A = this chain, B = another copy of it.
Amino acid sequence: MKITLIGSGKLATQLGLRLVEKKHTILQVYSRTLQNAKKLAIKLNTNYTNELSNIETNCDICIVAIKDDFIQKLSNKLFFDSLIVHTSGSVSTEVLKKYKNYGSFYPLQSFSFEKTPNWETLPILVYANNESSLNRLQRLANSISNNFHIVNNQQRKQLHLAAVFANNFSNHLFHIAEELLKEKNISFDLLKPLIIESVQKIENTSPKNIQTGPAVRNDMETINRHLEQLKNNDNLNQLYQLFTQLIQNTHKK
């Protein structure tokens, strides 16, 4: 397909590279910053612009892969007859409703400039305002991944919220663990085999079935000792208590 790519960030970069790999044609890259547009366009061997009025509108799909806050602003200034989609997990497709054909094309992964993600298993969540647009997005998704799903706005928002818990917050727990270890001159490397083993387990079973630790065993002696260890850190003390309560509520049922 012929694609206009709006954006030059991590997602735009990895998605662009994958689309080219799969023989789609990127007609043009747009970025507010000419230098960024040029940088990605060179990688994708295509044209670039930083002028909204120069955006190539004669395409099969225009993919808007920019920061959430700018999607509405930018889309208000564009004119497309063909299909326009954004790649945001949390913005409603309704911000594009002035267009005849619009939707979302949401690759559920955290992207970086350097690392090529595993596209084969990468979930592509798609939605559109009509059947023919949905078909077109499905064809595009199936050409770059084996993990295609139709997900409406409400579901996509919930996925984004769930990802914040499962991904952003768990990463902060790893940071907390690293800091706790630093206090006693212990390398965070010691915890990595445990973390990796545990995450491998949820590939085949529900997290609920593999919950371990003092909270789920109702081991009050250990819980109180841990709270004592955290007595000089109000926030971590509060976080520990809240998790203990949540885990105990879950496993009482």
Binding site for B on A (CB under 8 A): 68-69, 90, 108-110, 117-118, 121-123, 125, 147, 149, 151, 154-155, 157-159, 161-178, 180-181, 183-186, 188, 190-199, 202-203, 206-208, 210-216, 219, 221-222, 225-226, 229-230, 235-236, 238-240, 242-243, 245-247, 249-250
A125 CB to nearest B CB, Å: 7
Contacts of A68 in B (CB 8 A): 219, 221-222
Given contacts A108-B190, A197-B109, A211-B172, is CB(A163)–CB(B184) below 8 Å? no
Report how far A147 CA is from B193 CA in the complex, Å. Answer: 10
Complex contact A199–B196 (CB within 8 A):
yes
Quickly give the copy total for this chain. 2
Listed A/B pairs (17) with beta-carbon separation below 8 Å: A90-B222, A90-B225, A109-B194, A109-B197, A158-B180, A158-B181, A158-B186, A161-B180, A164-B226, A165-B176, A165-B180, A168-B211, A168-B215, A178-B206, A188-B206, A235-B242, A239-B242
Contacts of A183 in B (CB 8 A): 158
A219 CB to nearest B CB, Å: 7
Q: Chain B: which residue is nearest A210 at the CB level?
A: B171
Contacts of A172 in B (CB 8 A): 207, 211, 243, 246-247, 250
Contacts of A221 in B (CB 8 A): 68-69
Contacts of A246 in B (CB 8 A): 172, 176, 235, 239
Complex contact A193–B108 (CB within 8 A):
yes
Interface of A is mostly: helix
8 closest cross-chain pairs (CB), A and B: A168-B213, A166-B177, A174-B207, A162-B177, A170-B170, A175-B207, A162-B180, A158-B184
Complex contact A151–B186 (CB within 8 A):
yes
Q: Chain B: which residue is nearest A145 at the CB level?
A: B193
Report how far A159 CA is from B177 CA in the complex, Å. Answer: 8
Report how far A242 CA is from B243 CA in the complex, Å. Answer: 11
